[in-house]
Structures are given as C-alpha cells and as structure tokens.
Amino acid sequence: MNRLLPPKDVALLLGNSLAAIAGPDEITLGMPHLCINGLSETWLLKECGHRHWLMLAAAAGLPAPDFRDPVGRPIYAAFLSVSIRNAAFETAREHARIAFASRLARISGTRFMSLHRIAVAGRPIGEIAMTSTFVRRLHEGSNHHIARIEVPALRQIEIDTEAAQWAAQAMALRSDRWLTHLGLDRCQACVIDRFVVDPCPGLDFNGADFLYFANYQAFVERAEWAFFRPQAPFPTTRARDLVYRGNIDPGERLVVTLLQFVHDREGLRHWYRLQRERDGTRVADAFSFRARTGGG
C-alpha cells in the first residue's frame, strides 16, 4: 500500500463487526480529566488504554489482566498504533458526563484492535482506535529488546477481516509504506527542528517499567508548544496517528524531531519522529492535525 485512504469515520468502518463488546460506561468530568482546552487527550489515551487491557482480560476469561507466558513470566499488551478521528475535545466541560462505548477485535494471531467511541451528553466528540500485540522482555531490566508472544486463551476470538483492513492503514505508517497522510507528504520530510525530552521515571514510566504509550503524545505536544507557541485560543486535536516502534530505559533521553508541518487556515498539521538520543533508534512517529478553536 503506497497511498493511505483518507481519514474516515472509524465507527462506520468497524462499528458492526467487532468481537468482545464492552458496554457503555460513564464518568463525570473533573480536573483530572480536563486541560486548558477541554478534554485532556493524555488522560483519554490512558483511560482507553486501560479499557483495552481490561477487555483483553475479559476476552481471555481472566478476572484481572494478569497475563503470563508458559513459565510464569509477565507479558504485556504493547501498543503498535493509536488513531484519533473526528475529535471535538474542546466541547467537553467540567461536570459533564462522558460516555464510552468500547469494542475489541482480533486482527491477526498476535494483534488486537479496540475502538472507543466517546460522547458527551449524547453528542459524539471523538473515536479512538488502538492496536496492540503481546510482548515479553528478552532481557530482564531492558526495554530495548522485546519479543511478541501469542496468548492461547485469546485464540477463541475469530480474526476480524474488516477491522484488520482498517488497521492496515496504521501498519502502513508504521512500516513506512505511505506517500501522503493528513495533508503531509513523506517525500518532503527533513529535519526542521529538534526538542530533547528527559523522561522522568516517576512520571513517564508505567508500572511495568515501560515508557507509557500515552506520554509519547504528551512529548509531541511539548515540542509543538516549544516550536510554535500559539496564543489563545490554543489548538485542539482533530485527528492524530501515533505509531510505536520501540521503548527506552529509565534515564535515557528522547529527541523529538519536527520533520514536516503545514500551517494554513484550517490549522496546523505536523509530523514528528521520536528517537533515543543515545543511538538515534526510532521509537515512534506522530502525525497530527490540530485546529484553532473559538474559545481560550
């Protein structure tokens, strides 16, 4: 695949075909869930990631997501990609009720996709699609070397070809098999600017000692602020794709490199690459469409 399909309504692509459906749930929004411009995207990714993890456990018949390999070592669901579409996070306000409708699909022998439709007061404000695979560490204490592993208890879920077709778009980004995406042109990439991040073990790593997937997005927003520093009204995400290729160990730093941007009347589109500072290993790419809103 060389040219990605244009962004579509994820619900239309996946809505009727996913297995292991989780019922809607609601949360009353307060300060932990919000940012200066509505719903916190970082919090939302963490919440959807947790729901993804719980749905995998339920599909495997486990009371808690305590997955183990044949010799009893813990294994984890590592995200390969996260896609946000049709986002209107700026419309969420304090005390509002946010509703989640989440579904899970198996898209290959080792990969799973969850779809989370988000609504406030019955009004859709975004869709999150997340693809993961199970992994284990090859060397204890190192996040540089991991291996995929299959969970036998999840073989009962049939592979969903429709969901797999949609996931192929994210996989094309991850494998560099694309030409244009979100108004960005792969052939026009160049190093425009670099922003160094020193992740804090107590803030940016999760309980499994991995750099938490949701914080990649937070680092991209810090770089956006450093490079563009817009005045209010602050930009909000309309669409974003994060593709993950690796991780780092506590104490290592990341370089967030701006490779391309388009700034026009519609908003700001940009492509960032995240790399380990020590050896330049690419750990993620982020493609975003950010729009200005009417409120500060």
For the segment 183-233, what is each residue's pLDDT rounded down to a tens digit?
999 999 999 999 999 999 999 999 999 999 999 999 999 999 999 987 667
Q: Which residues of 248-271 are buried (b: 16+ CB within 10 A; e: fewer)?
A: bbeebebbbbbbbbbeeeebbbbb
What the chain holds in terms of domains, given with CATH numbers, is 10-292 (3.10.129.10)
The values of phi and psi at residue 272, to 5°, are -115, 145
CA distances from 198 to 35, 143, 231 (A): 22, 16, 26
On the CB side of 27, CA atoms within 13 Å amount to: 17
Please report the pLDDT score of residue 24 as a whole number: 57
Q: Which two tokens stand for residue 2?
A: 């060389």
Average pLDDT over residues 246-260: 97
Residue 23 has pLDDT above 70, yes or no: no
The rounded percent of the chain whose pLDDT value lies above 70 is 90
Average pLDDT over residues 19-27: 63
The amino acid at residue 201 is P
Asked whether the beta carbons of 75 and 136 are under 8 A apart, the reply is yes
Please report the pLDDT score of residue 7 as a whole number: 38
